[in-house]
Structure 1
């Protein structure tokens, strides 16, 4: 409901007590005590005082000449100083602090070249990860030179956690700057909840497979034997395929490595594999940089109240992935490998 207009006596009362009490909050308290329990807000009080100091009156008197603009150099300097110290200041907060409208704030931002940049969530890297990432990227690109179609014969596999209260939130923090500051947020990857396994290659996906509990070497080898391999065995020319998984503890179990040596001799990527996988590198495998984000965007559109409904939603989301999309995603791997090399093994996704 819109607030009613203040009458002349109320405006005069506010001005008189503002000069005595100095702060709007004190005027509000006195209003509640002497008039009613619905005092004008602080912005209204400040605006009234500004008008009184400019015109010498509480009446709505138009000043001669052009309207006074808030887009002054002093205002620009103050905004620049605030954003330099705290670039995450919202337009709402800036409007309140400077007692100007949000429209004016946005207009000033635009005139000064300020733009909103959303930080990218990136994985945390250890000091010794960079060289390992470079070595892996260079080795894989070298293999592609000798075997160009290899990129279409890799099963990129991984596990992910889907939660009942899961959500995708990419807009909770904005940085205002004249140039992209490439701000990132590092996070340490954790696993908990309903665990799903899947593999993606250039012509489709294999999955989803749902683990009943935490993934162990025993439960992982059971999945490989009972679920993955029968499906993989039906693929044409499967003897030339590579299998990829990361260095998770279950993947490093001795029985799992023995199984891979037997079924993918010299053609598996992982911790201590034929091609050693660099730790903490989700930006280099399609399962991480595409598959899980794509699926969660779909699954988390609607909140699920039971694990069974969440499971069905995940299965339905998988059915939306076609071979054209998979090929496009897998074809992007070499470019990512080269970008990783170009930045000396550091994170690179936020630089796009």
Structure 2
């Protein structure tokens, strides 16, 4: 609720200047098995692309969206720890942000996963974005368990997942290329609209006292 109250002090354009970020596991299924359409994982099932084999290769993508653009997709081949996440911020994310003329207006958002909120990571983020960080362990907290407030969760991932299902990549490299092409070619206005829609969701979240609201959309 407090997060939504703060967000709603800003207009829709502010939401476009937030660098919304998230990670997602993508699972490859090179040989579909019609007798087995179940994909089990210890991870949140909403974070997995549906697969047709109970076992398959997988890779994690990090995607960031800001100012009508997707930043370069970054791939993790294993579980993400603080060191790997910090290295990505230093070598991929910040150089992409720094190249943009309006970077001083940007905010950075991340969820509260443990690798995201270690002291070295938070020190780096605050050194680059100042007080414009939305995260656990920051002045402006990201509400826990709130995928319905993340434009990547409620829109982007479902769009790219649908593209993967249609294209049926046969190798991890094909899958990665497909995701990268999709992110690179996504329409700027669609990305801006996606970010602005977060404000509407924040309004509904507030009106429902922090409870479920997607049935009202």
Q: Which TM bucket (shorter chain)?
A: 0.7 to 0.9
Of structures 1 and 2, the one scoring higher in RCO (CA 8 A, sep 6+) is 2
Match of 1:141 in 2: 8
Report the Cα distance in structure 2 between the residues aligned to 1:307 and 1:292, rounded to whole angstroms. Answer: 17
State the alpha-carbon separation in 1 of the partners of residues 210 and 67 from structure 2.
Answer: 25
Task: Determine the C-alpha separation between the residues in 1 that align with 2:28 and 2:13.
Answer: 40
Name the residue aligned to 2:210.
345
Root mean square deviation of aligned Cα: 2.1
Q: TM-score, normalised by structure 1?
A: 0.53
How far residue 350 of structure 1 moved from its aligned partner, in angstroms, is 2.7
**How far did 1:322 drift?**
1.6
- Does 2:115 correspond to 1:280? no
The alpha-carbon deviation at position 333 of structure 1 amounts to 1.4
Task: Provide TM-score, normalisation by structure 2.
Answer: 0.84
Shift in Å, 1:351: 3.1
1:152 to 16, 30, 35: 16
Q: Is residue 189 from structure 1 mapped to residue 53 from structure 2 by the alignment?
A: no
State the alpha-carbon separation in 2 of the partners of residues 343 and 137 from structure 1: 11
- Return the match for 2:63 from 183, 198, 205: 198
* Greater than 4 Å deviation, 4+ residue runs: none
Does 2:31 match 1:164? no
Separation in 2 of the partners of 1:334 and 1:318? 22
Gaps of 5+ in 2: 33-42, 49-57
Cα distance in 2 for partners of 1:138, 1:209 equals 32
Kept in 2: contact 1:340–1:346 (CA 8 A): yes
Query: Structure 1: which 5+ runs fail to align?
Result: 1-133, 168-187
- Whether the 8 Å contact between 2:13 and 2:196 is mirrored in structure 1 is no
Spell out the pairing of 1:213-224 with structure 2 (5 A cutoff). Answer: 213-224=78-89
SS in 2 for 1:207: coil
